[in-house]
Amino acid sequence: MLFPPSEDLPSDVLAAVDLGSNSFHMIVARTAGGHVQVIDRLKEMVRLGEGLTPEKTLRPEVEARALACLERFGQRLRNLPPGSVRAVGTNTLRQIRPDCEFLARAEAALGHPIEVISGREEARLIYLGVANGLAPDGGRRLVVDIGGGSTELIVGEGFQAKLRESLHMGCVSMSLRYFPKGKVTAKAMEKAELAGAMEIRPVRERFRKSGWRSAVGSSGTIKSIATVLSNAGWCKDGISAEALAKLRQVLIDAGSLAEVQLKGLAEERRPVFAGGLAVLRAVFLNLGIERMLVSDEALREGLLYEKIGVLQQQDVQKRTVASLVQRFSIDEEHAARVRDTALILYGQVVQPWNLTDRNHPVLLTWAAQLHEIGLAVSHSQYQKHGAYLLRHADLSGFSRQEQAVLAVLVLGHRRKFPSDEFQQLSPAAQVWAKRLCIILRLAVLLHRGRSPAAKPFPMLQVQGDHLHLRFPEYWLAERPLTQLELEEEAKRLAPVGIRLTFGAAAGF
């Protein structure tokens, strides 16, 4: 999270909010012993995806609809302290331009921070939610979740996702493109299913050969289809390929979603029903599914179980960083020395620089451990390569906002200070991220020689944008190269309004 959490995290009440492209969901639950007991649910069909313009902004009427929903959710969540609520945005929020400021208005309406997560991170959390609702000995399974703007495919075993992908097709996007005004024809359905097949094609063989034994579907689209099939008497247990074919023909024969009579089809689901069916048919046909079970759990439950896991120190981010360190052959010992120095400097300025969010030292730690990740690409301007990797990689456990901060910290750890890049962060993050970057720069500079020998840590004093480093008497005089590097660093920081001075301290 990139916002100050409460230190008074409730011991047994957590909430999750899922801002999907079709519907917004909120769930409040009491937790005990790793189990979740739902005490409140809210769901509204917002259809955020249909309001996305070609310029990647939201149409005013759709934005108003979304904010009104979040205001209602906020009324229920206002009494829960920050840190006990996790809200995430998916496909449509991934596409909205940051400068339209919808995310800031959405956070104000909800009263809690909102993370924008990548498609593969969404897939991981969906699987976590579904897996916690299934028997643990079910073997390797395929999980399919059809949202408004994306479809997630995951193969996993137990609680661990082994293979995950997010495809750019969903019930809203497919309905808008192939079934405008609810008109359904055989030609339109065939085109929609072919479009789904094209989207699946790059990953088809990997999923077909991944060894899954059973298929499970989650999300409103799949649950709605299962309800209709059950009420029609075509499939009493989940969804079968044969029953899907019958439903497809019924829609085509009716010719219009407004005319079709299907018991169990909610009116709010009707406008996107044909698009959802086309996506599910494409998945069945291309992955060789004959029958699919249906799960009541999905992304929001995954968020809750993830939250419980974090409270129990099952930290996904730690595993992700450790994996990156190994994958890109980062010098762990050097990174650890930079990390330790950065945290010591941080501890000296935490109060005067108001770096009291408990996630500040965590992000500083990750940045220090990963600051040389770009060396795997090239030594020349490796900070730029590292920033690119961290910004665009699928990092389990990290939101898009967190990845953006890590990227700018790594980009700014050496050479020219990238002040323009900090302007791309949210207004709330710009000041503290800039200060964390300065701390990281100093830590890296002090270990420029890469010597494993212990160093006396300097004393760092700050007053606004003035930093003063004090070293043991005679230490700097004996190290003219370090003194020269500090002089160069002062020159680099001056253009962005940071004054760096340094000297010896008698009796240090």
How far is Cα of residue 31 from the mean position of the Cα atoms in its chain? 23
Tokens of 100: 């339209």
What is the model's pLDDT at position 310? 61
CB 339 within 8 A of CB 365: yes
- Cα 169 to Cα 133: distance, rounded to the nearest angstrom: 26
Q: Which fold, 316-505?
A: Hypothetical protein af1432 (1.10.3210)
Domain ranges of the chain: 13-117+302-308, 134-295, 316-505
The tens digit of pLDDT for each residue in 460-479 reads 999 999 999 999 988 888 88
Of 115, 75, 82, 118, residue with least CA distance to 10: 82
Q: What is the CA radius of gyration of the chain?
A: 26
Pick the CATH number of 13-117+302-308 from 3.10.20.30, 3.40.50.300, 2.60.40.10, 3.30.420.40: 3.30.420.40
CB atoms within 10 A of CB 249: 12
Q: Per-residue b/e over 382-399, b at no fewer than 16 CB within 10 Å?
A: bbbbbbbbbbebebbbbb
Q: Do domains 13-117+302-308 and 134-295 have the same CATH topology?
A: yes
- Cα 341 to Cα 177: distance, rounded to the nearest angstrom: 55
Of 120, 148, 196, 187, residue with least CA distance to 18: 148
What is the model's pLDDT at position 213? 94
Crossing angle (nearest 10°) for helices 332-349 and 360-370 = 150
CB atoms within 10 A of CB 261: 7
What is the model's pLDDT at position 33? 64
Strand-strand pairing, 160-167 and 151-157 = antiparallel
Give average pLDDT by consecutive 10-residue segment, the chain, 508 residues. 40 89 94 78 94 95 97 93 91 91 94 94 94 79 96 94 96 96 96 98 97 95 96 94 97 94 94 97 98 94 84 69 95 96 96 93 96 96 97 90 96 95 89 97 94 82 95 88 95 96 72
Pick the CATH number of 134-295 from 3.20.20.140, 3.30.1490.190, 3.40.50.620, 3.30.420.150: 3.30.420.150
304 to 32, 260, 269, 271, 311: CA distances (angstroms)? 12, 38, 26, 30, 11
- Cα 45 to Cα 272: distance, rounded to the nearest angstrom: 11
